[in-house]
Amino acid sequence: MASAKEIVSLAASGNSEEPQIDGASVLARALKEQGVEYMFGIVGVPVIEVAMAAQAAGIKFIHMRNEQAASYAASAIGYLTRRPAVCLTVSGPGVIHAFAGMANAQENCWPLIVVGGSCDQDQENMGGFQEYPQVEMARPYCKFSARPSSLDKIPYVVEKAVRQCTYGRPGVSYIDMSGDMIVGKVAEKSVRYVQNCPPPPPMLSSPNSIKKAVDLLVSAKKPLIVVGKGAAYAGAEWVVRDLVDTTRLPFLPTPMGKGVVPDSHPLSVAAARSKALQEADLVLLLGARLNWMMHFGAPPRFNPAVKIIQVDISVEEMGNNVYPAVALPGDVCVVVQQLLDEFRQRPQQFQFPSSSPWWTTLNAKVTANQKNVEAMTKDLSVPLSYYAAYAEVQKALPKDCLIVNEGSNTMDIGRTMLPNNLPRHRLDAGTFGTMGVGIGFALAGALWCRDYAPGKRVVCIEGDSAFGFSGMEIESIARYQLPVVIIIFNNNGISFGLKNEVWDVVAEGDRTLSVPPTALAPDTRYEKLIEAFGGSGYLVRTITELRESLAKAMADTKRSSIINIVIDPMAQRKPQEFFWLTKANL
């Protein structure tokens, strides 16, 4: 017969033979049930068990060197797959570091789940280790922020986090896990897992609004389609291409809208962007917002009398900065198909005439701008210009490669010089203009290519300043044997730097007073860093050296490479009236 003490102990703990499961395992299994494939992060107290449980559940864990880069990488997976990856962080500072990636994903409208460890609940309000009000602090950076109320409720919170970050306008969810909840145990039979959250149901627009939109498109004298990142995320490439081919309307992609319709398409007017936006009398926005990247839809960048037809998944976006002539809330794929169906129901098949004065204007501007750029690519003086270097890079890139591009001049010129013929094959600083995303994006892109498109290459083209934000993630890339080609346009600074002879003068005194804020140390040998991790490094000063190093790097499918291109520190982008940036050219 059991003693009184044993009876009390059994009553407190339940049947000792009943199977138990810890919180980390419940969380990992719940994430796996919701289709999560990847977890990026940095382990430590109290989340080590979460990472180990994730691997045991079949979730791939990628150990990064900084939570910012981990959150950037996880968000890129969300964009590429439309299902969120997880960024795992330790408590306090770890969560705060991840806020950068959360804000970037939220502004880009990419799905992301961040799981943050926190101090034990019985130490809250006592000054516990890395104690911080994480659930409250995360709210401005996400759509959903919560801590499960008990271990058996973890699957419910996970499902809601997935649903919130993927439904409507995609964004970020934060799940807080206290240390005692991670290692605590509960009867396994008491945990009820929630079924996999299905993809968001399609949203259609009103048939009357569709008819009104087509009426405007048919009657417009200077129509323009703007293809945004939202169309790329929605997987709308086939229906958008069908719309362009059917109507023969000119189109302009936003930076990450490139490739939804191939840049090589004859109806692309990307080379006449400013002229097209300035003079269009009707703009059909497909998953693009009238924010700073589109100059708020306001004069002088836009025609003061322009009419907007706005297609967006978010009803709240309608009328932001410019109220549309026709609002078409809904899924881009579905709404564009509605537009196509309406066009085809008309008595006469509509095609915008190639002989129109509008096409004459656009074609003339495209030709003139292309000639200007071509002339600049022929300047092979040393140190190299951006355009000469980019022209050589462009020749070496496979047509199906995934391009990561960030920096100041490096990214802005890259948007023009690097064509994309496939959707979701360009990742850059995006809506938030975030520097430091590049290496994290490249790592995520390489994982995606390895698992979903074997043989496809990832090329990460960075300014030297942008590379510095997360350069140590090249060790993570090497550790997971991901063959990324990293090309650094090294101009010794942010936007522009100093030539050696000028540096030698200004650096003689107190450098905190004499070295310009834009300047970095000249002739930094970034290519040596990858060699420390078993990769190949190349220093390039001439076109011949660039051509040879590109050939070697692209041929090496086993290791990563860094090509360090010395760029004229005073080289700038070509003169033009309007930049993507509204004010400072930074």
Q: Which bin fits 492, alpha (ψ -120 to 50), beta or left (φ > 0)?
A: left
Q: What percent of the chain has pLDDT over 90?
A: 89
- Short-list 436, 458, 76, CA closest to 232: 76
Q: Any idea how long the chain is?
A: 586
**Position 576 pLDDT exceeds 50:** no
**Position 138 pLDDT exceeds 70:** yes
Q: Give me the pLDDT at residue 572, please.
A: 73
**Distance separating alpha carbons of residues 407 and 138, to the nearest angstrom:** 28
Q: Give me the pLDDT at residue 181, please.
A: 96
How does residue 574 score in pLDDT terms, banded at 50, 70 and 90? low
**Distance separating alpha carbons of residues 400 and 424, to the nearest angstrom:** 11
Mean pLDDT of 448-468: 96
**Distance separating alpha carbons of residues 262 and 259, to the nearest angstrom:** 4
DSSP string over 237-306: HHHHHHHHHHH---EEE-GGGTTSS-TT-TTB-GGGHHHHHHH-SEEEEES---SGGGGGG-TTTS-TT-
Q: What is the pLDDT of residues 394-413, one digit of tens each?
A: 999 999 999 999 998 999 99
Q: What is the pLDDT of residues 149-160, one digit of tens each?
A: 999 999 999 999
Pseudo-torsion of CA 405, 410, 415, 419, nearest 10°? Answer: -70
Q: What percent of the chain has pLDDT over 70?
A: 95
**Distance separating alpha carbons of residues 162 and 198, to the nearest angstrom:** 10
Q: Tell me the CA distances in angstroms from 303 to 295, 299, 364, one per residue in order.
A: 12, 6, 19
Q: Tell me the CA distances in angstroms from 276 to 187, 252, 335, 433, 543, one per residue in order.
A: 64, 8, 24, 23, 34
Q: What is the pLDDT of residues 530-542, one digit of tens each?
A: 999 999 999 999 9
How does residue 496 score in pLDDT terms, banded at 50, 70 and 90? confident
Q: What is the pLDDT of residues 165-186, one digit of tens each?
A: 999 999 999 999 999 999 999 9
Q: Give me the pLDDT at residue 10, please.
A: 45
Q: Give me the pLDDT at residue 1, please.
A: 44
Q: Which residue has the tokens 């090589």?
A: 264
Residues in CB range of 377: below 8 A, 6 or more apart: 387, 388, 390, 391
Give Cα 533 distance to the centre of its chain. Answer: 26
Q: Give me the pLDDT at residue 573, please.
A: 59
Backbone angles phi, psi at 299, to 5 degrees: -65, 150
**Distance separating alpha carbons of residues 100 and 96, to the nearest angstrom:** 8
Q: Give me the pLDDT at residue 123, please.
A: 87
Give me 345's structure tokens: 């129901």
- Short-list 18, 14, 162, CA closest to 86: 162
Mean pLDDT of 46-74: 98
Q: Which helix (H) or strand (E) holds 361?
A: helix 357-377
For residues 469 and 560, is the Cβ–Cβ distance under 8 A?
no
Q: Give me the pLDDT at residue 196, please.
A: 94
Q: What is the pLDDT of residues 7-44, one digit of tens each?
A: 434 444 445 578 999 999 999 999 999 999 999 999 99
Pseudo-torsion of CA 458, 556, 452, 478, nearest 10°? Answer: -80
Q: What is the pLDDT of residues 174-230, one digit of tens each?
A: 999 999 999 999 999 999 999 999 999 999 999 999 999 999 999 999 999 999 999
- Short-list 376, 375, 381, CA closest to 568: 381
**Mean of the per-residue pLDDT values of the chain:** 93
Q: Is 160 helix (H, G, I), strand (E, B) or coil?
A: helix
Q: Which helix (H) or strand (E) holds 310?
A: strand 307-312
pTM of the model: 0.93
For residues 26 and 155, is the Cβ–Cβ distance under 8 A?
yes
**Distance separating alpha carbons of residues 280 and 301, to the nearest angstrom:** 10
Residues in CB range of 173: below 8 A, 6 or more apart: 84, 112, 113, 114, 142, 143, 144, 145, 160, 161, 162, 164, 165
Alpha helices in 400-540 (DSSP H): 409-417, 438-452, 464-469, 473-479, 500-506, 511-514, 527-531
**Position 583 pLDDT exceeds 60:** no
**Position 456 pLDDT exceeds 60:** yes
Q: Which helix (H) or strand (E) holds 367?
A: helix 357-377
**Distance separating alpha carbons of residues 388 and 543, to the nearest angstrom:** 8
**Position 556 pLDDT exceeds 80:** yes
- Short-list 189, 137, 146, 197, CA closest to 167: 197
